[in-house]
């Protein structure tokens, strides 16, 4: 990656999903690091996007649907901020010509086209939206390479690995292993029997991080770590068999790498997403941050455990999906998005999420044909797996 292009000057950011957990923290970081904002987008929180637009003066504000956009247009009539809607608006926000970096903080597959659009327009992308790298990894990495743009990780584990790799021998050639840390979520140590009874409220109570609802549930099922394993495979080119997972309850060691000589390098910090967000924005520079300094003696001890793969079956499903390659990662991701949505509507139980993800891995795709290299086949596999999962969910409740 050519670090010289934007080093040392305040960046111009377009933030997709600016009303979410990552989006609002990104705005906080952008303000403190002197960045300017060119575009902001939201799903349906019109009032919040209005307030953000008034504060940060983007040229473009985008709502998911035309009705919310019409509402925002009236509210922002005195500001000169242009308002757009839908996927077209999102892609426009990703391609603004006065933008240095597009921060994709959307949740789910809706983020795929805007990421590709940003790259095709020559924009660097800071990616929090892990689902789209899981589903479209080959296509996204190929698009980044063809357009010579950077893909900077925002996810704390991948930021940690990226930080550990600074100054490494070129091409990651001495890199032997990646070790992802996982908090274990709210249900660490629980048996399947105990998990039969947990509900939405318990699944939404993460011990260490305050995040959007979807990723919070992914952390409870540990699907999040499976998604991150696939994400790491694409970002760092490491074969999945060389990516390990270790439970680390305190979320202070954000991940580790091991070199050929068995030296292990880790990145540590208090659990605060503003740190990885800031590094993605200011890289290769480092600047002061409002994040609390780490005092290891305060923590006293840090603990590590092996994951319970029998209880948290989503990790194994993701590992198998990336080992098979092609469209399998898209299939497990789509099944999970659909299952999490059903769980949030309290239509299925907590353990059903893992059952549906594993089932989609085996049955959602009719053949092994697709390589997952075109947008059309990725979107078709996504749709097919969602449809399969809805049907499979009906069977569960009978
Ligand atoms: P969130 O639900 O808090 O925010 C999502 C944002 O996307 C919101 O601004 C919402 O308006 C927008 N959005 C959602 N659906 C949309 C749609 N259909 N069309 C247009 N806009 C839409 O989610 P989050 O927790 O901020 O997570 C965002 C991404 O970052 C996810 O992929 C998540 O896995 C990843 N991530 C989050 C955290 C965290 O701490 N929250 C940490 C690591 C990675
Ligand atoms: Mg993470």
Residue-wise pLDDT tens digits, 148-202 = 999 999 999 999 999 999 988 887 778 999 999 999 999 999 999 999 999 999 9
Distance 366 CA to ligand 1 centre (A): 30
Torsion of CA 249, 254, 260, 263, to 10 degrees: -80
pLDDT digits (tens, 9 = 90+) for 114-128: 999 999 999 999 999
Nearest-ligand number for the alpha carbon of 185? 2
Q: Considering the entire predicted model, what is its pTM?
A: 0.97
CB-ligand 1 contact for 112 (6 Å cutoff): no
Q: Which atom of ligand 1 is nearest to the CA of 212?
A: 25
CB-ligand 1 contact for 40 (6 Å cutoff): no
- For a mutational test of ligand 1's pocket, the pick from 53, 94, 107, 209, i.e. the residue with the most ligand atoms closer than 8 A to its C-beta, is 107
The answer to whether 392 and 334 are in contact (CB under 8 A) is no
Does the structure show a pLDDT above 70 at 368? no
Nearest CA to ligand 1 atom 36: 128
Distance 263 CA to ligand 1 centre (A): 35
CB-ligand 1 contact for 110 (6 Å cutoff): yes
Distance 155 CA to ligand 2 centre (A): 5
Torsion of CA 184, 190, 195, 200, to 10 degrees: -40
Q: Give the pLDDT of residue 369.
A: 67
- Sorting pLDDT into bands at 50, 70 and 90, what band is 313? very high
- For a mutational test of ligand 1's pocket, the pick from 15, 16, 17, 108, i.e. the residue with the most ligand atoms closer than 8 A to its C-beta, is 17
Listed range (164-178, 240-254, 293-307) with the worst mean pLDDT: 164-178
Locate 341 and state its tokens.
Answer: 């949505």
CB-ligand 1 contact for 21 (6 Å cutoff): yes
Looking from the CA of 336 toward its CB, the CA atoms found within 13 Å total 37
Q: Are strands 264-268 and 253-259 parallel, antiparallel or unpaired?
A: antiparallel
The mean of the pLDDT values for the chain is 95
CB-ligand 1 contact for 114 (6 Å cutoff): no
For residues 95-112, one letter each, b for 16 or more C-beta atoms within 10 angstroms of the residue's C-beta and e for the rest, the string is bbeebbbbbbbbbbbbbb
Q: Give the pLDDT of residue 8.
A: 54
CB-ligand 1 contact for 14 (6 Å cutoff): no
Q: Give the pLDDT of residue 286.
A: 96
Nearest-ligand number for the alpha carbon of 113? 1
Span between the terminal Cα atoms of the chain, in Å: 53
pLDDT digits (tens, 9 = 90+) for 72-114: 999 999 999 999 999 999 999 999 999 999 999 999 999 999 9
């Amino acid at each position: 990656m050519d670090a010289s292009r934007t080093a040392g000057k305040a960046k111009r950011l377009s933030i997709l999903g600016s009303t979410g957990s990552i989006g609002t923290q990104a705005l906080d970081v952008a303000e403190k690091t002197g960045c300017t904002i060119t575009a902001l987008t939201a799903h349906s929180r019109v009032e919040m996007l209005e307030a953000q637009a008034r504060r940060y003066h983007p040229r473009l504000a985008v709502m998911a649907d035309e009705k919310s956009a019409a509402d925002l247009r009236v509210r922002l009539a005195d500001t000169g901020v242009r308002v757009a809607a839908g996927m077209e608006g999102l892609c426009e926000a990703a391609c603004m010509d006065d933008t240095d970096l597009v921060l994709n903080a959307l949740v789910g597959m809706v983020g795929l086209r805007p990421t590709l659009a940003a790259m095709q327009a020559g924009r660097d992308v800071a990616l929090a939206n892990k689902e789209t790298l899981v589903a479209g990894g080959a296509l996204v990495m190929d698009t980044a390479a063809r357009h010579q743009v950077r893909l900077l990780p925002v996810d704390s584990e991948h930021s940690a690995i990226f930080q550990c790799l600074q100054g490494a021998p070129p091409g990651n050639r001495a890199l032997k292993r990646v070790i992802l840390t996982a908090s274990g979520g709210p249900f660490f140590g629980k048996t399947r029997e105990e998990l039969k009874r947990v509900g939405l409220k318990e699944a939404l109570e993460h011990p260490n991080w305050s995040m959007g609802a979807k990723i919070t549930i992914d952390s409870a099922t540990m699907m999040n770590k499976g998604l991150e394993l696939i994400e790491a495979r694409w970002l760092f080119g490491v074969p999945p068999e060389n990516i390990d997972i270790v439970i680390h309850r305190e979320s202070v060691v954000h991940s580790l790498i091991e070199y050929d000589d068995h030296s292990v390098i880790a990145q540590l910090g208090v659990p605060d997403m503003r740190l990885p967000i800031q590094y993605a924005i200011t890289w290769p520079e480092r600047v002061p941050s409002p994040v609390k300094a780490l005092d290891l003696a305060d923590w006293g001890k840090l603990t590590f455990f092996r994951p319970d793969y029998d209880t948290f079956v989503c990790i194994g499903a993701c590992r198998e999906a990336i080992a098979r390659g092609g469209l399998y990662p898209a299939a497990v991701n789509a099944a999970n998005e659909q299952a999490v949505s059903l769980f949030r509507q309290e239509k299925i139980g907590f353990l059903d999420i893992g059952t549906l993800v594993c089932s989609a891995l085996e049955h959602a795709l009719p053949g092994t044909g697709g390589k997952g290299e075109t947008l059309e086949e990725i979107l078709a596999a996504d749709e097919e797996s969602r449809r399969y999962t809805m049907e499979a969910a009906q069977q569960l409740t009978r």
